[in-house]
Structure 1
Amino acid sequence: MSAKLTIGFILNPFAGIGGSVALKGSDGEDTVKQALAKGAVPLAEKRVSQALKLLQPYAKAIEFICPAGAMGHDCLVAMGFDANVIFQPQQPSVASDTHGFIMALNDYGQQQPIDLLLFAGGDGTARDICAYVSDSTPVLGIPAGCKIHSGVYAVTPIAAGRMVEHMVNGELLSLVEANVMDIDESAFRDGVVRAKRYGEMTIPDDLRYVQSVKSGGKESDELVLADIAAEVVDLIDDSRAIVGSGSTVAAVMELLQLDNTLLGVDVVAEQELVAADQTAAELIKHAQTALGNDQLCKLVVTVIGGQGHIFGRGNQQLSPQLIRLIGIDNIIVVATKSKLQSLQGRPLIADTGDSELDQQLSGYIRVVTGYRDYVMYPLSSPQ
C-alpha cells in the first residue's frame, strides 16, 4: 500500500508519576506537584519508547500527528520519527491540553482521516480522550499510568507496538468496543475501590480470521449476510442511503423488504425505497436534496470478490463528485471476512477516476463484517 499509516499520537508526560511515591495515582495538578516534590521521576516517555522502538524500521511508512513538546513531538523526534505538530500545549501541560489536542485532531481528521489514535497514559487520560474523540477514530492505549482498569489499553507497551506493526504490514485487525473505566483516587487512597464506567471507545483487536457463523454452505453464508445487513440497517437508520450493487449489499435491501437492483444503485430514505437503478447525475441530486434538508446521506458499497475494488468496477454511477458530497466518514463498506481473506493480503482498491480523491480515500478503512463486528482493512489507489 502506497499511502502512509496516519497515527494521531499523544503522551501524558506525567502519567504514573504518583505511583513510585505511594500517591496511588497521578490525576490532577496538585497530585503531580506533590509527586515531583517527593522526588518522583516521570517514566511515561520510557514506557512509550518501548512501543515506538518496534516501529523504527517502519518510520517512512508512518505519519504521526501530535502536540508539541513533551506531549508528543519531543519523544517522536528522539526516536527518529517525523511528526506533524497541530497543537501547542501549556508548559507544563495540564489535562485541558489533552482535550485541546483531541479537538484539533478531530478537525484535522475532517480533511485527512486518522487511521489510529495512539496514546500513552492511565485511566484518567483515557477518560479525557473518550470525552472528546470522534466516534469514527480507533484508539489504542500504551499503558503508562498507575491505574489501568480500562479495556482500551494494550497489555504492555510492547504489545501496543506490535499491534501498530501489524497495521503497518497490512494485516487484518478487528474493531471492537472497549470500556473506559476509572476509579475514585481519593477513595482509593482510603482503601476503597470505587470504579465507574465513563463510556467506550473503538480499539483494534486480533482478527478471528474465520467468522464464527460461517462454516461453509449456503445456510451459514446466509447467516453472515443477515448479520451484516442488520448492522447496516442500524447504521443508516433514518438517513438517506445510496445503496450500491452486489449480493452482500442486496442482503440489506432484503432485510428492509425492499426491491433491489442487483447490478445497479438504489436510493433509500427513512428505510423506504425512493428511487431505483439511478444514474450518476440522479444520485448527485439525491445527495444534494438530503444535505439541503440537513439530512445525513450515506453510501453503502461492497467489495468485488477476488479483485478488491470498492469503486471503479461495476459502480461507475458513484462518481467522484458524489463521494465528495457524501464525505468519507459516511461511506459504509461491507464484506464477509472470507471475501477479505480471499484477497490474500492485497489492499482494497479505489479507482474513482479522480487520482486526488483516490489518494484521500487511501489508508485504513472500517469494513462491516457482521453485527457489531468490523475489521480495519487497507485501502489503496491504482498508483
Structure 2
Amino acid sequence: MFKLGLIINPLAGLGGSVALKGSDGVAEQALALGAKPKARARMALALAALVPLKARIQVHTAQGEMGGALATELGFDPRLRHTPPAVTDAADTRALAEHLLAERVDLILFAGGDGTARDLCSVVGQRIPVLGVPAGVKIHSGVYAISPKAAGVVAAQMVRGELLSVTDGEVRDIDEVAFRQGKVKAQYFGEMMVPEALRYVQAVKMGGQEHQALVLDDIGADMAEQIEALNEAGWQCVMGSGSTVAAVMDHLGLANTLLGIDLIKDNKVLGQDLTEAQLLDVIADKPTKLVLTLIGGQGHLFGRGNQQLSPLVIRTIGRDNIMIVATKTKLEALAGRPMLADTGDHTLDRALTGHYRITTGYRDAVLYPLADPEEEVC
C-alpha cells in the first residue's frame, strides 16, 4: 500500500479575495468580510487523480477539515492521526506533520500557502517527499505544483511506481505585516524534497537513451561534491560495492574495492574491504553516511553481495543517512518493481521501506521506492 499523508490548511487563501494580502492572523477578519474557504476544493481537484487508485492507497491525515472529511467523502478509508480544534492554526499543521513523519508516509500532499509550507518544513525538512497543492494567497515557495490537477497527476505517478525526478524546493515566506504596508520581505526558511515529472539531462543522452559512461561520470561528479561537503561537516562515508559506486571513487581519485566495502574521509581511504566487525568498530560514535547502489535486474539494495552491511551496521548508520546512486537505465529496467531490502531482519526490512532520493546524474535525482520482499510476495 502507498502511504499518503494528507494535510489541508482550512484557512489557507482566506485573505486573498478580501484584499488582506494573506491569511496569517487575519482569518476571522477575512471570514467576517465574506471570504470563503478554498483549500478543501483545491485539494479535491488534486485527489481526483488518485480516486481510481484508492485501493492501493492508505491515507493518513487529521480529523475533519484538515483532511479526514474530504478523504472519506471521496471514498478513501483514512487513518486519523490528529484531532484538531474547530479553528485550526499552525500548531495543528506541525502536529499532524510530526505524526506523518513518525508513520513514514511515502508522500505528504498538502494544500496551503507559504505559511503552511514553512510550518511543514520546520518538522519534515528533507526526510519525506512533499508536494504542495496551491491554495494560499502567497505562493513564493518552490514546493508547489503548478496547479491542483498537476499535483494529483504527479502523486498518481508515485502511486503507480513510475520513475520521477526529485528537486530541492525552497521554502520562502513573506512578512505579511510588511506586505500589507507595500513592502516585500521574503525570507528563506529551508528546503524540502519535491517530486516532479521525469526529466533527462540532454548532455548524457544519446539516441534517446542514457550514454552509460557519461552518466557514470556525471553521477561521480555530483557525489564527489556531496561527499566533499560532508567531509567538511565532519562526516565519514562507507562506500558500498558495485560499478556505480566505483565511478564515485574514481571521481574522488581514490582506490576502490569493486566487490567490497570501503571507508573514506577527507579524501582518504581509511579502510578497504571491511568486514562487519571492522565496520561496527569504525562507525561507532562517528557520523557516517552510507553510499551504495542496487543490483541491476534484481533491485536488491541490501542482502545480495553486501552482507557486511548487517542489520546492526545499517541501524548504527541510520536510514536517513543512506545515499543511493544509480543510472535511470538501471532503474527503468526494474519495470516499475521496487528496490528490495533482504537483510535477514524482517523488522529492519520493513523499517527501510519507503521512497528514496537516488542520484542519477549531475544535479539530477529521482525518487524510487524500496519494499519489503516478504510484502512483495504477499
Q: TM-score if structure 1 supplies the norm length?
A: 0.87
Identity %: 50
In the TM superposition, what are the counterparts of 1:310-325 in structure 2 within 5 Å? Answer: 310-325=301-316
Q: Is the 8 A contact 1:77 1:83 kept in 2?
A: yes
Q: 3-state SS of the aligned residue for 1:22? A: coil
Cα distance in 1 for residues equivalent to 2:215 and 2:97: 40
Contact 2:12 2:112 in 1 (8 A): yes
Give 2:312's aligned amino acid: Q
- The CA distance in 2 between the partners of 1:258 and 1:281, in whole Å, is 23
- Is the partner of 2:334 in helix, strand or coil? coil
Measure the CA separation in 2 of the matches of 1:225 and 1:155. Answer: 29
Cα deviation, 1:156-209, whole Å, max 9, x if unaligned, reads: 111111110000011111111222233343444455555444433221111114
Contact 2:114 2:172 (8 Å CA) reproduced: yes
Between stretches 14-23 and 42-51, larger displacement belongs to 14-23
Q: Which residue of 1 aligns with 2:34?
A: 39
The aligned counterpart of 1:226 is 220
Pairing partner for 1:353 from 341, 344, 356: 344
Deviation at 1:80, TM superposition (A): 2.1
2:223 alignment partner, SS class: helix
Q: 1:263 aligns with which of 239, 248, 259?
A: 259
**What is aligned with 1:208?**
199
Q: CA deviation at 1:85?
A: 2.8
Residue aligned with 2:27, SS? helix
Q: 1: CA distance between counterparts of 2:264 and 2:179?
A: 53
Residue 10 (structure 1) aligned with residue 7 (structure 2): yes
Tell me how far 1:53 sits from its aligned partner. Answer: 2.1
Tell me the residue number matched to 1:240.
236
Partner of 1:54: 49
| Contact 1:210–1:338 under 8 Å retained in 2 | no
Structure 2 counterparts to residues 1-383 of structure 1, below 5 A: 4-28=1-25, 31-106=26-101, 108=102, 112-191=103-182, 193-209=184-200, 212-215=203-206, 220-234=214-228, 236-237=230-231, 238-287=234-283, 289=284, 291=285, 295-382=286-373, 383=377
Q: Structure 1 80/178 Cα, relative in aligned 2: closer, same or farther at 3 Å?
A: same
Given that 2:221 and 2:251 are in contact with CA atoms closer than 8 Å, whether structure 1 keeps it comes out as no
Q: Deviations over 1:225-278 (max 9, x none)?
A: 432432441464332322111111112323333321111111224443222112
SS at match of 1:245: coil
CA RMSD, aligned part only?
A: 2.4
Counterpart Cα distance in 2 of 1:225 and 1:100: 37
Q: 1:84 to 1:234 in 2, by over 3 A?
A: farther
Q: Which is further off, 194-203 or 301-310?
A: 194-203
**1:67–1:86 CA contact under 8 A, matched in 2:** yes
* Equivalent residues of 2:13, 2:23 under 8 A apart: yes
With 307-316 and 151-160 compared, the bigger mean Cα shift is at 307-316
Q: Which amino acid aligns with 1:58?
A: L
Question: Secondary structure, in 3 states, of the residue corresponding to 2:35?
Answer: coil
TM-score by length of 2: 0.88
Q: What are structure 2's unaligned runs of at least 5 residues?
A: none
Secondary structure in 2 matching 1:212: helix
Indicate if the aligned counterparts of 1:55 and 1:165 stay in contact, CA closer than 8 A: yes
Q: 1:72 and 1:234 mapped to 2: Cα distance?
A: 42
Give secondary structure in 2 for the equivalent of 1:278: coil
Contact 1:10 1:66 in 2 (8 A): yes
User: What CA distance in whole angstroms lies between the structure 1 residues aligned with 2:84 and 2:266?
Assistant: 44
Q: Which residue type is aligned with residue 343 of structure 2?
A: T
Give the secondary structure class of the aligned counterpart of 1:131: helix
CA shift for structure 1 position 13? 0.4
Deviates more, 1:88-97 or 1:161-170: 88-97
